[in-house]
Amino acid sequence: MKLNEFEGKRLFRKYGIPTPKGVLVTRPNQRITLKPPLAVKAQVLSGERYKGGGVIFAGSINGTSAGLKKLFNSKINGERVEKVLVEERISPLKEYYFGFSYDTESRGPVLTLSPKGGSQIGTLSRSAAGQAKPTIVPFDITLGAEPFIIREALSYAKFPSEGFNALVKIVQKLWKLFIDEYALVAEINPLFKTRDGEFIAGDAKIILDDEKLNPGERRFIEMGGDIAILASGGGASLLNIDALLRFGGRPANYTEYSGNPPAELVKNLTKRVLDRRGVKGCWVIGGTANFTDIYETMRGFLEGLKEIKPKPKYPIVIRRDGPRQEEAFLMLREIARKEGYDSHLFGSEVSMAESARIMVRAAYRKKEAGNRKQKK
């Protein structure tokens, strides 16, 4: 699902990416207290908003009111305007571009960046003489947004050296949003550099995985391996599969449950995943949830696990975090002791990629996962 700009910027602020001061307007006569100059921006999903007349710059309160009236009575590229974002207008020294997305060929995330952002970025792939194309850098899920990787990307893309430290932090925050929110695209264009040396996100393009947004939906694909998988989160779950493969794991399946599924759904999915011969490990994997009830999903997992015959003796590695996680882990430990399950529980102190390594070592007995300190 593609988000409107104001929704994307709400996520930016959640992850510490600065945005201009602004207010969402839902009616043309709404009182505006921001001081001009202002940017009056129609909230529509269609592209080419600026060219379609969806952005008006106002130098006065009267100009702002006129801009609001004009936009609320218009359609931008065929889409009726129902919301308008009014923001303080930034006069930048420079405009940059940063975006994370998935590359279908490598089946992994990539960072696209350019020292020329704004409207220029749309023509950079058809670069005119003297213009550089955007730089595309594959990201390794096992390493993540390490500062040295980002610095190398900035240097290769010929960004000015001043401000590197601040840009590294911006990219790290964008990466965290991209992974934690199960985004398919997370883009800042432009990223303003002000005359004071600050960086501010001028616009936001965020596309979230629909599977994450529709509770109860799940996908199941047989992969022929021996590590059974229950994953939460569409895009991130694909990255987790890649991490498992990197460490030598053999996925039995690709399975993904989304949103805040009821225990019954997770129970049935667990039975489907584990009711097979030759399983050497079970990996329950997901990031830090915002709305998923971890206790409820783990209750469903345990109910499904109890119905598997014979009783599983293989290692079960669970990496989850979010609402009611502590309650869930207490329940999991109690049932593991009672039933004799070989369980290994981890929260956000262990990365998803690291839990893949632990799963592989435990499943193939390369080194005991239990040697690692588990979350209390």
Tens-digit pLDDT profile for residues 309-323: 999 999 999 999 988
The whole-angstrom separation of Cα 12 and Cα 71 is: 25
Buried b (16+ CB within 10 A) or exposed e, 333-368: eebbeeeebbbbbbbeebbbbbbbbbbbbbbbeeee
How is 59-114 classified by DSSP, letter by letter?
Answer: SSHHHHHHHHHHHHT-EETTEE---EEEEEPP--SEEEEEEEEEETTTTEEEEEEE
- Candidates 2.40.10.10, 3.50.50.60, 2.40.420.20, 3.40.50.261; CATH matching 212-369: 3.40.50.261
Q: Where are the domains of the chain?
A: 21-88, 94-208, 212-369
Predicted confidence band at 236 (pLDDT cuts at 50, 70, 90)?
low
The whole-angstrom separation of Cα 122 and Cα 138 is: 21
The whole-angstrom separation of Cα 238 and Cα 188 is: 23
The whole-angstrom separation of Cα 129 and Cα 180 is: 39
Q: What is the four-CA torsion angle of 290, 291, 295, 301, rounded to 10 degrees?
A: -100
Which residues lie below 8 Å from residue 366, measured CB to CB, with a gap of 6+?
360
Cβ atoms of 93 and 194 within 8 Å: the answer is yes
- Chain mean pLDDT for the chain: 87
Q: What is the spatial order of strands in the sheet that 227-232 belongs to?
A: 218-222, 253-257, 227-232, 281-288, 315-321, 342-346
Q: Are strands 135-138 and 108-114 parallel, antiparallel or unpaired?
A: antiparallel
Superfamily of domain 94-208: ATP-grasp fold, B domain (3.30.470.20)
- For 153, the token pair is 């990307």
Q: Look at residue 1 in the predicted model and tell me its pLDDT.
A: 80
- For 203, the token pair is 């616009």
- pLDDT tens for 333-354 read 999 999 999 999 999 999 999 9
Q: Look at residue 130 in the predicted model and tell me its pLDDT.
A: 46
Helix (H) or strand (E) holding 371: none
Start-to-end Cα distance in the chain: 37
Nearest to 360 by CA among 291, 285, 271, 265: 285
Cβ atoms of 138 and 118 within 8 Å: the answer is no
The whole-angstrom separation of Cα 143 and Cα 347 is: 18
Most confident of 103-112, 149-158, 240-249: 149-158
| Distance, C-alpha 177 to centroid of its chain | 5
The whole-angstrom separation of Cα 301 and Cα 321 is: 15
Residue 160, classed as helix, strand or coil, is coil
pLDDT for 219 beyond 80: no
Residue 312, classed as helix, strand or coil, is coil
- Residue 127's φ and ψ, nearest 5 degrees, are -55, 135
Q: Whose structure tokens read 């749309």?
A: 122
Nearest to 202 by CA among 90, 120, 123: 90
Q: By percentage, how much of the chain surpasses pLDDT 70? A: 87
Single pTM value for the model: 0.61
CATH topology of domain 21-88: Dna Ligase; domain 1 (3.30.1490)
pLDDT for 373 beyond 90: no
DSSP state letter for 233: -
- The residues pairing with 368 across neighbouring beta strands, listed in sequence order, are none
Q: Look at residue 105 in the predicted model and tell me its pLDDT.
A: 63
Q: What is the four-CA torsion angle of 358, 362, 366, 370, rounded to 10 degrees?
A: 80
Which residues lie below 8 Å from residue 9, measured CB to CB, with a gap of 6+?
19, 22, 85, 201, 204
Predicted confidence band at 86 (pLDDT cuts at 50, 70, 90)?
very high
Q: Are strands 183-193 and 22-25 parallel, antiparallel or unpaired?
A: unpaired
